[in-house]
Amino acid sequence: MIMKKSYLIFFTVLILLSLAGGITTHIQAQEPINLYLFYSRSCSHCYEERQFLSSLMEEYGSRLKIQEYEIFESQANQDLLKAMGQLYNYNMRGVPVTVIGNNVIEGFNTSATTGETIKKYLDQCLSQSCEDKLGAFIKAKNSEPVVDTSQEIPEMVNLPFIGQIKTKNLSLPALTFIIAAADGFNPCAMWVLMFLISLLLGMANRKRMWLLGGTFIFASGAVYFLFLAAWLQLFIFLGFILAVRLIIGLVAIVSGIYNLREYWLNRPGCKVTRSESRLRIFDKLKAITHKESLLLAVIGIILIAGAVNLVELVCSAGLPAAFTQILALTAMPRWQYYLYLIFYIFIFMLDDILVFIMAMATLKSVGLGDKYSRFSNLIGGLIIFILGILIIFKPAWLMFG
């Protein structure tokens, strides 16, 4: 009897060990969950998601396999993204796009929101089998992630009128400074400054003069910042669309050619600001600033700042548009984008601030000769033309992140 019980216990333990071994073998043989990410190097949301996925790899280990498809420089990856949209009957509007099993996630907000959604789908696929339609399609098409290395940055670049420069010496802060300075020292920007000085020099109240002048400069910078921020958000959202980048590049090239033509034909000044109708509007706003009510005067000066900056954007839209496109090409945390915009605005307004302080301190207006306007067209035209060429043909050279 004891022997029978021993045999029974032995065979029971043997069966349990076999079952445990089978379970272990099943667990070990379980395929990892495939996560497919379509992203662009020029997309800040993509940058944030890739940072998050790096932390997921540490958490899930071998249970997770991430396959990334960069669509900015690879037509093959763009075609795969379109095929994925048709396969899942999904109408995509932008990147990043994350695919897990039968789930498609567009965009990335934060790790606490979109990140938790990604983890939920991963856990579902780990607890129960998920159909990997995209994986089967990729395997059938033999479509591996494509990395385009054709736009690798050379060590030396030969620029017209400038000569050879080392690309490692280039940086986004330096480029921001150059573009902002060129934007600030254009004829239209100088016309805004001259209008400001002529508006305030006739005032007897010095405190009022400084207050309205400071309000004008601050409001001008704020309006310009809002325009740049709006463009930046648009370019970040549409950054993966090739046509957007080509349009911005063409606008920059045409603007550069126009400025160089104005220099060649010896035509100084800003043509947009010569409209008599606009000057009549500014005369009316000027009358508002001389009203006794300080509140009305401040409102009037803010309106003037908005109006003249609208005119200035028409006159020199190429440089700020090119800058915001370059900024959108660089993946970085969102707060850094706005730091660069603030830096751009500071450099852009710096000449206005200095000349205004000098004029208000001496009560003398500062005039600018035709030679200044001509060379402004030359320098600004060269910079914006070169940037347009790079945006279209060598965008990787302008990606600093």
β-pairing verdict for 33-39 and 103-106:
unpaired
β-pairing verdict for 97-100 and 103-106:
antiparallel
Count of domains observed in the chain: 2
How confident is the model at residue 155, as a pLDDT? Answer: 47
How confident is the model at residue 29, as a pLDDT? Answer: 41
| Angle of the 206-237 helix axis to the 334-362 helix axis, nearest 10 | 160
H or E stretch at 336: helix 334-362
Task: Judge if 167 and 316 occupy the same domain.
Answer: yes
Last residue of a domain, one of 141, 171, 197: 141
Maximum mean pLDDT: which of 54-63, 89-98, 318-327, 373-382: 54-63
Residue 56 lies in a domain: yes
Task: Judge if 250 and 274 occupy the same domain.
Answer: yes
Higher pLDDT, residue 81 or 23: 81
- Spatial contact of 194 and 368, defined as CB atoms under 8 Å apart: yes
Rounded mean pLDDT, 24-45: 70
Task: Judge if 231 and 308 occupy the same domain.
Answer: yes
Residue 8 lies in a domain: no
Task: Judge if 289 and 239 occupy the same domain.
Answer: yes
Residue 308 lies in a domain: yes
Task: Judge if 97 and 226 occupy the same domain.
Answer: no
How confident is the model at residue 347, as a pLDDT? Answer: 92
Residue 20 lies in a domain: no
Rounded mean pLDDT, 359-376: 64
Question: Which ranges of 238-293 does DSSP label H, i.e. alpha helix?
Answer: 242-264, 276-289
Last residue of a domain, one of 84, 106, 141: 141
Q: Residue 91 maps to which CATH number?
A: 3.40.30.10
| Angle of the 172-184 helix axis to the 318-329 helix axis, nearest 10 | 170
Cα 378 from chain centroid?
A: 27
Residue type, 164: Q
How confident is the model at residue 152, as a pLDDT? Answer: 44
Token match 């945390």: residue? 333
Residue 153 banded pLDDT, cuts 50, 70, 90? very low
Task: Judge if 133 and 221 occupy the same domain.
Answer: no
Task: Judge if 121 and 233 occupy the same domain.
Answer: no
Question: Which ranges of 109-241 does DSSP label H, i.e. alpha helix?
Answer: 114-127, 133-141, 172-184, 187-200, 206-237
Domain residue limits at 117: 27-141
Q: Within 10 A of 219 (CB to CB), how many other CB atoms are there?
A: 19
Give the integer Cα–Cα distance in Å for 115 and 263: 53
H or E stretch at 64: strand 64-70
Is residue 118's pLDDT more than 70? yes
Task: Judge if 181 and 126 occupy the same domain.
Answer: no
Task: Judge if 99 and 161 occupy the same domain.
Answer: no
Residue 316 banded pLDDT, cuts 50, 70, 90? low
- Spatial contact of 86 and 28, defined as CB atoms under 8 Å apart: no
Task: Judge if 212 and 342 occupy the same domain.
Answer: yes
How confident is the model at residue 117, as a pLDDT? Answer: 93
Give the integer Cα–Cα distance in Å for 385 and 256: 4
Beta partners for 65? 34
Residue 21 lies in a domain: no
Q: Within 10 A of 399 (CB to CB), how many other CB atoms are there?
A: 17
Total residue length of the chain: 401
| Tally: H helices and E strands in the chain | 14, 6
Last residue of a domain, one of 108, 141, 174: 141
- Spatial contact of 273 and 188, defined as CB atoms under 8 Å apart: yes
Task: Judge if 160 and 280 occupy the same domain.
Answer: yes
Higher pLDDT, residue 156 or 251: 251
Residue 39 lies in a domain: yes
Which backbone phi and psi does 216 adopt, to 5 degrees? -60, -50
Give the integer Cα–Cα distance in Å for 19 and 13: 10
Token match 């695919």: residue? 99
Is residue 169's pLDDT more than 50? no
Task: Judge if 253 and 394 occupy the same domain.
Answer: yes
- Spatial contact of 50 and 142, defined as CB atoms under 8 Å apart: no
- Spatial contact of 39 and 46, defined as CB atoms under 8 Å apart: yes
Residue 134 lies in a domain: yes
Residue 223 lies in a domain: yes
- Spatial contact of 149 and 131, defined as CB atoms under 8 Å apart: no
